[in-house]
Amino acid sequence: MKRIVISGGTYAGKTSLIELFKKDGFEVVPDVGLEVIKELNAELGQDGQREFRANNPIEFYSKIIRKQLEIEKSFGEKTVIYDRGVHDYVAMLRFTGTRIPDSLMSLVRGISYDLVFVCSTLLDFDERKSSGRSLTKDNSLRLKDLITETYQNLGCRVIQLKEMPLDQRYDFVRSHLNSSDFHEVQQKRPKKTHLPRKIQKSLKDKAIELIKSKLLPDSKIIKIVLIGSSLKGTFGEYEPPGFRGSLFSDFDFIVFVDDDYEIPDWMEREPDGKPFPDDKLNLAYRNKRLIDDKYDVEVFFIRWSNMNNPIIQKQGEEAGIPMTKNTKHKHEVIYLKEA
């Protein structure tokens, strides 16, 4: 089964793209949010619908999420392309500044998608107020960033889909669906059960102290950052046979170092850690069962000259690595070299 999401801010061309997949015989699910808006229009009228959405954001987006989950369950093992997934609506709640209740997040955390394509907002932006969507272009761009961040924080693989002719967008998505890399991910990513929050925090604290004791002091280390599932509340145990040789999530650290830093020999090179197109930059290393003789630690090293390269910064941010001061990726700085 492949669960594919095509998402983006308002007026990103996602629905037109999905129509091409529908014409080619793919199973597609239209934007459930728009369907709920239509139902509310019929029940309350357009003005009443807008008032309800403005005054009851939690209830409104809960309606959408629950309806989407019902639809997703109905497809069983079929390959489906979704015009937005449930994580989109978490991002929309964040956009409104609404505090998301734990009960709603618990529904969403257990949902995963195999690939998420986030479409760039189109240059010839049209607010299309008649459809019930009235975001400005700036708001659409901000929503796109929140959508990207939300999917990544919840463990989904996100691919940015830039503006290009519609047929080229279609071919781009198809090429990823047909790639051997995608099928390998499909086979290797089993279901995961999240550990209790208190246990997650205890393990996270232990991992931080251990990695600091292993790497520090060292004058050539600039910064150490923790990212990944231990920060997102999704650290847990996989169903057998596990993922990357482990039955558990791993602890992911990004270490920014001087150009002449020598990577210690207590870690082994991780062949699957390849966020950058230039493989020379992919300095991913792993130590198996370093924590409690059970949990792996993965450390990704980035050298000083690369961390200040704007092109590499952009590639890193798109891959979920916090490369800039204004990064939107959830992370925790556990060490920062004094100036």
209 and 180 both lie in a single domain: no
Helix (H, G, I), strand (E, B) or coil at 254: strand
Name the maximum alpha-carbon separation found in the chain: 67
Q: Give residue for tokens 């997102």.
A: 232
Bridge pairing between strands 221-227 and 332-336: antiparallel
The model's pTM: 0.56
Written as six digits, the tokens of 131 are 């459809």
For every residue of 259-285, DSSP letters joined together read: TTPPPPTTSEE-TT---SSSGGG-EEE
Report the CATH number that the domain containing residue 79 is assigned in CATH. Answer: 3.40.50.300
pLDDT at 124: 77
pLDDT at site 132 = 47
Residue-level pLDDT at 123: 83
What are the structure tokens assigned to 10, written together?
């308002």
300 and 169 inside one domain: no
173, 6 contact by CB (below 8 A)? yes
Query: Are both 176 and 201 inside the same structural domain?
Result: no
Q: How far apart are CA 157 and CA 194, in angstroms?
A: 18
Which helix (H) or strand (E) element contains residue 5?
Answer: strand 3-8
Q: Spell out the residues 6+ positions from residue 339 whose beta carbon is closer than 8 angstroms to its own.
A: none
Domain that holds residue 299: 193-336
pLDDT of residue 187: 47
Total domain count, the chain: 2
23 and 107, same domain (yes or no): yes
Q: Domain ends where: 123, 155, 189?
A: 189
Tell me: do 40 and 172 sit in the same domain.
Answer: yes
Domain boundary, last residue among 149, 166, 189: 189
Residue 293's Cβ-side half-sphere holds a number of Cα atoms within 13 Å equal to: 0
pLDDT score of 185: 46
Give the three-class secondary structure for 124.
Answer: coil
Dist. CA 49–CA 38, nearest whole Å: 9
* 248 DSSP assignment: B
Backbone angles phi and psi of 108, in degrees to 5: -85, -35
Contact 197, 226 (CB under 8 A): no
Per-residue pLDDT tens listing for the chain (339 residues)? 588 999 999 888 898 999 998 888 888 999 999 999 999 999 999 999 999 999 999 999 999 999 999 998 887 666 799 999 999 999 999 999 999 998 888 888 878 898 999 999 888 776 555 544 567 888 889 999 999 999 988 888 899 998 888 989 998 888 887 664 455 444 456 788 999 999 999 999 999 999 999 999 999 999 999 999 999 889 999 887 777 778 899 999 999 999 999 999 999 888 766 778 788 898 999 998 899 989 999 999 999 999 999 989 988 887 889 999 888 889 999 999 987
Same domain for 223 and 312?
yes
Q: Are residues 173 and 296 in the same domain?
A: no
Q: Of 164, 189, 214, at which residue does a domain stop?
A: 189
